[in-house]
A and B are shown apart, each in its own frame.
Chain A
Amino acid sequence: MSEASGQPGAGSPGAEHGRSRLRNTREEIEAAENQALEAAARMGYPAASVFALRLALEEAMTNAFRHGHESLPDEPIDLEWSIGPARAEFTIEDRGPGFKPETVPDPTLDENLERPSGRGIMLMRAYMTDVRFNTRGNRVTMVYDRAAEDAKRRAAAD
């Protein structure tokens, strides 16, 4: 179930929006993801930004299904997105019990480097401007601010 619209949202002039209820199939995940990423391409986001958005979306949805819905394999998750010329925002909500993101160990520490899991959230934080979880830990909101990310990339290139 998926819908997209070009109606301007409050506080985000010219943004496109979409909302999908997704089951854990590659087809549904990719169809929703492509709607959002095609909107970003229409807004003139460069390839590096689209790469960042795809990566963050993939990691957030994988976490929702793999961890949030570990005991709820048939339940869908909800994705909402808003892509404007200056700012993109995604909210992913699962129906699981939630978790405490601060309890996930830092995967970049030498002692954790060989652990095969635990990198999704750090990648979301690395590639998005802001990543916030609700108190229960079953909903994540991620913001990509183009000006902030362009400045980050320029600083990294210097």
Chain B
Amino acid sequence: MGQSDSRLRITNSDGVAQVRFIDRNILDEANIQQIGDEITQVIEASPAPKILISFENVDHLSSAALGTLITINNKVRNKGGQLRLSNIDPQIYEVFVITKLHKLFEIHPTAEEALGSFRK
């Protein structure tokens, strides 16, 4: 898998891996699998990963994508890390509310607020 095939843009600042999506729609099963694999690599590369996933520009996501986020959350927690979500479009946030996943994830309106919420 070459860098050019990545479905994500990942930047690091202040010990936090900031993940953004290239696709507006996170629906395709193969893409979702790849996104899960790429974020898992980030989790495995750090002893206590701090990860911010920003959903700016994301218009649609499926329950399979939610499933991958849950798996990522479990992996981060198992390593004693921290996961934050941010910039979720109101229509997509409603999907989190309907599924009650807004209770499982720590969600912030903006990336700045999410970055400020990480414990040292």
Contact = CB atoms under 8 A, between A and B. Distances in A.
Interface stretch (B6-14, B48-56, B66-74, B79-87): B66-74
Nearest to B69: A116
Contacts of A126: 98
Interface string A22-62: 00001000000000000000000000100100110011001
Interface in B64-120: 64, 66-68, 70-71, 73-74, 91, 95, 98-101, 103-104
B63 A119 contact: yes
Contact of A119 (B27, B60, B67, B73): B67
A117 B69 CA distance: 11
Contact of B67 (A51, A58, A117): A117
B99 A107 contact: yes
Interface of A: 26, 48, 51, 54-55, 58-59, 62, 66, 107-108, 113-117, 119-120, 122-123, 126
Contact of B66 (A48, A108, A119): A119
Contact of A113 (B62, B98, B104): B104
Interface size class of B (residues with CB under 8 A): 20 to 34
A108 B67 contact: no
Given A62-B64, A123-B98, A116 B71 contact: yes
A121 B90 CA distance: 21
29 contacts: A26-B30, A55-B60, A55-B95, A58-B27, A59-B62, A59-B63, A62-B29, A62-B62, A62-B63, A66-B29, A108-B99, A108-B100, A113-B100, A113-B104, A114-B73, A114-B74, A114-B104, A116-B68, A116-B71, A117-B64, A117-B67, A119-B67, A119-B99, A120-B62, A120-B63, A123-B63, A123-B95, A123-B98, A126-B98
